[in-house]
Amino acid sequence: MDQNKTTGPLRELFDSFKAGKISRRGFAQGAAALGVSAPLVTFLGSQVSAQDATAVATDAGEARTRPEVGTEGQTRGAGGDLNIIQWQPASMLSPHVSTGVKDILGAVTIIEPLIHYLSDASMVPNLLSKMPSQADGDLADDMTWVQLSLSEGVLWSDGEPFSSADVGFTIDWVKNPDNASVNIGVFEPISDYEIVDDLTIKVNFSAPNPFWFTPFAGTSTGYVYPKHVLEVEGAHETFLMSPIGTGPYKLESFTPNDTMTLLPNDNYREPNKPFFSRVTIKGGGDAAAAARAVVQTGEYDFAWNLQVEPDVLEAMIADDNPGLLVPYPGVAVERINYNFSDPNTEVDGQRSEMNTPHPWLADDAVRKAMNMAIDRETIANNFYGNGQPHAVNILNGDPRTDSPNTSWAFDPDGAKAILDEAGWVDDGSGVRAKDGVQLKGVYATTVNAVRQKTQVVAQAGLKAVGIDVTLEQIDAGIYFDGSEGNDQNINHFYWDLCMYQSVPSTPRPLSFFEAWYSGPDGENIAQASNKWNGSNNSRYQNPDFDVAWEAARTETDPEALADLFIEMNDIVILNDVITPLVVVGSPRGSSKRLRQENLELAAYSYDYWNIANWNLAE
């Protein structure tokens, strides 16, 4: 990458921060003065904090911990009921096999990772007694191994002790292809491990691993499973619906795609937590109804992902309301995915077979024309608003990984010219065709008012250039359910186009880019052979992308790594593998009775990650 393309006041400020010339607080204040959004500041801070060897100046007492304001002296279970509305309800509760955020949200109240990400993307130990570091000698200088020291006195909710054997078991469980874990690629760099003692495990990597923390950190991939429960053959089927964990709550009841209720975990390691006596997470309805139930009526205390038109949300706001809207860091991208395989041809008992090209989306010219024909700016301004801009890249925010090589313009005339040149012509029906193949397909997404309006705008733009797509809407509980037998989910991708949003789960988003990594013999492509849990559900295959992804996996130099992330972004964007629509930061709804500081909504952690510390405002 030509570094001269990213010079400017923000880059200079970031370089000073990276060099240790200014503190994190000084950097944040300077960035804010330049008009930089909070999510972008989060990205920048993460790129420094994640590299252990990087020097960073710190203000006195600046080191952060999980917020726990007002928890001292409180009594476990004294807070009464906490009612959460999650309009996309959980279908199951085993996060290592979940392809939907809705399922992981339910699990995060029960099962925990070793390490958490805070809202500034810094990492804090959760089930560890301390963070590993090169300075302390428990992280190899070349990042080929890490030694994890577990906290003492941690128990599973059934009273069994938590130990390093559980961490080792989780590594083995995720890496076992028979378990069809969606995180198998994240754990793949682990070559072996050594149980040093009950509270210490040394994890070895097959090559230098700058992402050593990813299998253990955050609420996307870092969960530890109980060995004593899951080592019994067939136990995971029960665990899917009734897990146990080390977290602040334990499951009382669970009705898939509807409601779950939780009670305090009597064996939780902090005796004064959690504060609430029962948590109910209710599903159903839509985002607008969820917003009203928290902000206007106060029927619920918290609402997740209020993907609602800005004018609808603004009409709900009033000073005397029982609830308020809480900003959420905008690092997710709502995108249209293109199917590179044929969803209408069956091969060996499966459609969208990875070696059966799509009859028209495999044509680069068609995808380029589609990107030019869909008015992203109209979608962003009218259906998202609140500073959520239209997207150009799939990876956003960090000036070191924010590509200078891409651009976008709404240009339907240009789209028509590209299709003409490629031989796709309209015979008078309004739909272009070539060699007997018409540009007709199905465009699917979840049932959601914003997404339906987005579909209509995209459909109209495509129709104007001669591409006919039929709109399909699927309940989120089905669409994001990763069950092997569910052929209406995004894993099977039995449509031509599908739309959803995705978000990096770590400040170093290698696992995020797995969505376009095919792997040796296509092993990362969602297929029947891997129970449809391969991360690459678009069946995109590009050797250059795979080379860049594999190089990034072992690159320890931060600047070289940034270049590789830009390269992967550019391959996806410049080859029109997707249409990135909007950089999304959908707000959440919170009751004013909740202490807002302890919500700690974070870009790389799912909403309830700090629920152990949620309590009431004074």
Distance separating alpha carbons of residues 500 and 597, to the nearest angstrom: 30
pLDDT of residue 218: 92
pLDDT of residue 89: 94
Choice between 11 and 570, residue whose per-residue pLDDT is larger: 570
Under the banding of pLDDT at 50, 70 and 90, the label for residue 196 is very high
Cβ atoms of 490 and 497 closer than 8 Å: no
Distance separating alpha carbons of residues 505 and 602, to the nearest angstrom: 10
The runs of H, that is alpha helices, within 50-120 are: 101-107
Under the banding of pLDDT at 50, 70 and 90, the label for residue 38 is very low
Question: Strand, helix or coil at 487?
Answer: coil
Distance separating alpha carbons of residues 41 and 14, to the nearest angstrom: 10
DSSP secondary structure of 207-256: S--TTTTGGGBHHHH-B---HHHHTSTTHHHHHTTS---SSSEEEEEEET
Exposed/middle/buried for residue 237 (C-beta within 10 Å: 0-12, 13-18, 19+): exposed
* pTM of the predicted structure, to 2 decimals: 0.76
- The per-residue pLDDT for range 540-580, each reduced to its tens digit, is 999 999 999 999 998 988 889 999 999 999 999 999 999 99
Under the banding of pLDDT at 50, 70 and 90, the label for residue 22 is low
What is the domain class of 75-110+247-329+586-618 according to CATH? Answer: alpha beta
Topology of the domain comprising 115-227: Dipeptide-binding Protein; domain 1 (3.90.76)
- The per-residue pLDDT for range 422-451, each reduced to its tens digit, is 999 998 999 999 999 999 999 999 999 999
Q: Is residue 177 reached through a cis peptide bond, with omega within 30 degrees of 0 on the bond before it?
A: no
> End-to-end alpha-carbon separation of the chain, Å?
52
DSSP H or E run through 333: strand 332-338
Tokens coding 523:
């092993």
- Partners of 262 in the β-ladder: 251, 279
Cβ atoms of 267 and 290 closer than 8 Å: no
Domain 332-584 has CATH 3.10.105.10: yes
Q: Are strands 278-282 and 437-438 parallel, antiparallel or unpaired?
A: unpaired
* Average confidence (pLDDT) over 210-235: 95
Give every CB contact of residue 460 below 8 A, 6+ residues apart in sequence: none
Question: 9-18, 189-198, 256-265: lowest mean pLDDT where?
Answer: 9-18
On the CB side of 204, how many CA atoms lie within 13 Å of its CA?
7
Cα angle 360, 373, 448; round to 5: 90
- Partners of 249 in the β-ladder: 264
DSSP H or E run through 458: helix 449-464
Gyration radius of the chain over CA positions: 24
Domain ranges of the chain: 3-49, 75-110+247-329+586-618, 115-227, 332-584
* Average confidence (pLDDT) over 36-62: 38
The helix, strand and coil proportions of the chain, stated in percent and rounded to the nearest 5, come to 30, 20, 50
Residue 419: left (phi > 0), alpha (psi -120 to 50), or beta? alpha
- The per-residue pLDDT for range 298-343, each reduced to its tens digit, is 999 999 999 898 889 989 999 999 999 998 877 789 999 999 999 9
